[in-house]
Structure 1
């Protein structure tokens, strides 16, 4: 079977009693939905501060990935619970005082997100791990880009 990265998983019957950490998994997914939204809004602000079109393009690509991740987490939550997640649309992070400070915040945020998603990967039903793996590898790619942007602008 060929894996399609943007495909929504087909409904399956999950025996949650087999997984001891189902509450933790759902909580991490809810946190991730909000975190991806916060990142999207934060990166919208960074795009406006970016000094070159190349940097704007890089951050725009990362922002678009965050939108994709949020949609994936929302679909995953709905798949696992049978209901849509109840998450706010408002950002809960402060905006940076400068472009370089924003890049530093973004870099550290991407690395923290990877750590959270690794925990999720290890505790989620194995049939959903490809989704989490895709998101994790995107986060590492983003961290690499932000590391480059930070070095370039330091």
Structure 2
């Protein structure tokens, strides 16, 4: 049996390939969510910012998909990991938490990755995800005042 391109380039690191698939699924889910959230956004300014965030997620999705293909020779078919909440405020909360968790996930991948170009790709994506989290926190803050909602036990992190 001959080693695959993935085995040759990553020393058979199946854990990285699994993390890469998880990252692709996450980006695919984020793109889908943010298209939905754009339609729910209460202002044009928020719609525009969501569109810019979605464009970042599309860039990450394309980079990770290309990386997967270059390592395996196979096109990965992404999976939607969960549905977007239908309530705008709940969607903002969920997106904030997801962006924070994704930041940590990408930094962890970067920490154990030996190839500098891949390390840099995940560090840059982590920085983008953190920036998105700040925007979602801002959206939540504005929506909370608009709806007279305060942070309470429903704000799970």
Q: What TM-score range do you get, normalising by the shorter chain?
A: 0.7 to 0.9
User: For 1:120, which of 109, 128, 146 is the aligned residue?
Assistant: 109
Structure possessing the higher radius of gyration over alpha carbons = 2
Q: What are the residue-to-residue correspondences of 1:5-154 with 2, within 5 Å?
A: 16-17=10-11, 22-81=13-72, 83-88=73-78, 91-127=80-116, 128-154=118-144
**Larger RCO, structures 1/2 (Cα 8 Å, 6+ apart):** 1
| Structure 2 gaps, min length 5 | 1-7, 145-157
Q: Hey, what's the Cα distance between the residues in 2 that align with 1:93 and 1:140? A: 21
How many angstroms apart in 1 are the aligned matches of 2:56 and 2:9? 31
Contact 2:109 2:122 in 1 (8 A): yes
**Is contact 1:74–1:84 with CA below 8 Å preserved after alignment?**
no
1:74 and 1:124 map into 2 onto residues whose CA distance is 17
* 3-state secondary structure, aligned to 1:44: helix
* Rounded Cα–Cα distance in structure 2 between residues aligned with 1:151 and 1:28: 32
Q: CA–CA distance in 2 between the matches of 1:92 and 1:27?
A: 14
Q: CA RMSD of the aligned region, Å?
A: 1.6
Query: How many residue pairs align between the two structures?
Result: 136
Q: Is the 8 A contact 1:77 1:85 kept in 2?
A: yes
Measured at CA, do residues 54 and 91 of structure 1 come closer, stay the same or move farther in structure 2, by a change above 3 Å? Answer: same
Q: What is the CA–CA distance in structure 1 between the aligned matches of 2:130 and 2:97, rounded to whole Å?
A: 11
For each residue in 1:4-60, what CA deviation from the matched residue of structure 2 results, as whole angstroms up to 9, or x when unmatched? Answer: xxxxxxxxxx6533xxx8211110001111110011001111000000000001111
